[in-house]
Amino acid sequence: MTSYLSNPEGTWKPPTHPVVNVQAEARAWRREAYPDTSGMMFQALGVAEETGELSHAVLKYKQGIRGYDRDKTRAEVADAIGDIYIYMCGVADELEIDVVDAITAAWEHVKERNITQGSDAGIQIGDGNVQVNNF
């Protein structure tokens, strides 16, 4: 798979979509602004923390409390998604993973799944009904 970050000669390849710039820009910013917390552990903890914020916003919206209407929830979820992506870039950098390549590969795998057949987790989908088997 061709990397969006470099060509086979190891030089910069112009991005085909602006989001590919985020990984490189975040790397430079992180190293300058937070040199002591740029390692994989801190970045993975950032992913976990932001996932918690995303979950918190969705939960409060579903509970109908603390003023979480659709607009507030949308804004907070969008912010968390962006932060999660940035922290994921930090984890990926530590392992020299191109995030765009990883997402593309995951999507290629996921979209091939036969969702009507369920999964190994004991979920069966059929006739519009979902059944979770005890295991």
pLDDT of residue 135: 40
Q: Which residues in the chain land under pLDDT 50?
A: 1-4, 122, 134-135
Give the C-alpha distances (Å, rounded to integers) separating 38 from 6, 7, 31, 52.
22, 25, 6, 20
Largest CA-CA distance found in the chain, in angstroms, rounded: 55
Asked if 66 and 60 count as a contact pair (C-beta separation under 8 A), the reply is yes
Q: Is 49 helix (H, G, I), strand (E, B) or coil?
A: helix
pLDDT tens digit sequence for 96-108: 999 999 999 999 9
What is the spatial distance between Cα 70 and Cα 60, in angstroms, rounded to a whole number? 11
Residue 45's contacts (CB-CB under 8 Å, 6 or more residues apart) are none
Residue with tokens 């004991």: 122
Encoding tokens for residue 116?
């009507």
Q: Regarding the domain with residue range 20-132, which homologous superfamily does it belong to in the CATH classification?
A: MazG-like (1.10.287.1080)
Q: What is the mean pLDDT of the chain?
A: 82
pLDDT of residue 11: 61
pTM: 0.70
pLDDT of residue 54: 97
